[in-house]
Amino acid sequence: MSHRIALAVIALLALLVALPAMADGHESTIADIVVASAAAEEAEFATLLAAVSAADPAILTTLADPEAELTVFAPTDAAFAALAEALGEEAFGEILTEEGTPRLNEILLYHVLAGAIGSADVVGALESAMADDMGHVSLPVGTLSGQTLEVSGTMGEDGLDLSAGIQIDEAGLVLEMVDISASNGVIHVIDAVIVPELRSIAEIVVEAAGAESPQFTTLLAAVQAADPAVLELLADPGAAVTVFAPIDAAFAAVENLDDIIADTALLTAVLQYHVLPGTVYSFQLGGIVDDMGMAAISMANGSEASISISDAGVMIDNANILLDLVDIPASNGVIHVIDAVIVPSE
């Protein structure tokens, strides 16, 4: 614990020396701090400011809201430069155009959490998590984009090994630049831009069906044969849904599958029964079941499906949720793969 306190003190002193424009952080919003740093003699966050300025104005409004409580993982200018190099200047520039605004919004909101979470809270949460055989610990954290990012680290003999760093997805937390306090939250600096999944559920299914080792081929055929509203929902960038996606073998086990696919109304109802409104990740399922490990959830067709959690695994109705194929992120929700087709009772 004393090591963490010492680190926090060193980080605070470093910030007061290196970023004088941020010294009044308690009176300044996150937006104020980003603007002041971008204009400082040794500018930082200049590209972040340009990105926020090019995005939906609602994002800047959120960062400037004095009543908000937010945590922002702020990429450095060097982090954005590395992204531009990886994508190519032309592709990176397109993200900052009007046509690229939806993608830019997703990327920026993926760097923002609801609530002010200090570095000590991050360390404490990681130390409370269960480590794997290699001492690796990780936690999923929801972002304002609707997707979750992974905060991770490595345990040492006396707690979290800070010398090994703390990762925010693929980015490293810059430990000398954490806990930049604002009136509406806190900023932690990271050394890379973290990019969420930008494909929709529909795009992921199409790409999986056309892959070298294809999957979801029958699911794709079924969606294409159903009412167009099904495909429109899975492709809707503004949707937020959870899809329980049967593997091809699950469809192959269904009797009279051709008859079901030929019946548009029935097929549509069956497919909608695999869609749960709202984005629910696997780690959130435990929060919706009762003491018996059971829960009824309302699916997109209006029927209720049953979720059950036991030592044997997690099921939705008669289908097993394949735990090594859960939490497949999409820009408009999440996919969990299941080993059987589920059918509404009516």
Contact 127, 152 (CB under 8 A): no
Residue 58, classed as helix, strand or coil, is helix
Kindly report the CA angle at 174 between 330 and 331, in degrees rounded to 5? Answer: 10
Structure tokens at 224: 């294409």
Phi-psi domain of 53 (left: phi exceeds 0; alpha: psi -120 through 50; beta: other): alpha
Percent of the chain with pLDDT over 90: 82
The answer to whether residue 9 scores a pLDDT higher than 60 is: no
pLDDT tens digits, 303-319: 999 999 999 899 999 99
The answer to whether residue 22 scores a pLDDT higher than 60 is: no
Q: How far is CA 137 from CA 35, 124, 150, 196, in A?
A: 35, 12, 10, 21
Looking at 82-86, 94-98, 149-153, 165-169, which range is the least confident one?
94-98
pLDDT tens digits, 32-69: 999 999 988 787 899 999 999 999 999 999 999 999 99
Confidence bin at 18 (pLDDT 50/70/90)? very low
Q: What is the mean pLDDT of residues 95-110?
A: 89
Q: What is the mean pLDDT of residues 74-79?
A: 96
The answer to whether residue 20 scores a pLDDT higher than 70 is: no
Closest CA to 195 of 49, 75, 71, 50: 75
Question: Which residues are CB-contacts of 342 (< 8 A; sequence separation ≥ 6)?
Answer: 244, 246, 273, 274, 305, 316, 317, 318, 319
Residue 240, classed as helix, strand or coil, is coil
Phi-psi domain of 41 (left: phi exceeds 0; alpha: psi -120 through 50; beta: other): alpha
Structure tokens at 155: 């345990």
Cα-based torsion angle of the residue sequence 153, 156, 161, 165 in order, rounded to the nearest 10 degrees: -40
| Dihedral sign from CA coordinates of 59, 64, 67, 73 | positive
* pLDDT of 25: 44
The answer to whether residue 23 scores a pLDDT higher than 60 is: no
Q: Residue 329's beta-bridge partner residues?
A: 334
Report pTM: 0.84
pLDDT tens digits, 148-203: 999 999 999 889 999 999 999 999 999 999 999 999 999 999 999 999 999 999 99
Q: How far is CA 190 from CA 26, 31, 59, 254, in A?
A: 21, 17, 19, 49
Question: Which residues are CB-contacts of 8 (< 8 A; sequence separation ≥ 6)?
Answer: 119, 120, 178, 179
Write down the mean pLDDT value for the chain.
90
In 19-174, which ranges are continuous DSSP H helix? 30-38, 46-54, 57-64, 77-87, 89-95, 101-109, 119-128
Confidence bin at 122 (pLDDT 50/70/90)? very high
* pLDDT of 10: 36
d(CA 245, CA 319): 10
Closest CA to 244 of 313, 314, 342: 342
Contact 305, 299 (CB under 8 A): yes
Contact 155, 127 (CB under 8 A): yes
* pLDDT of 106: 94
Q: Residue 188's beta-bridge partner residues?
A: 73
Looking at 17-26, 39-48, 278-287, which range is the least confident one?
17-26
Confidence bin at 26 (pLDDT 50/70/90)? low
* pLDDT of 314: 96
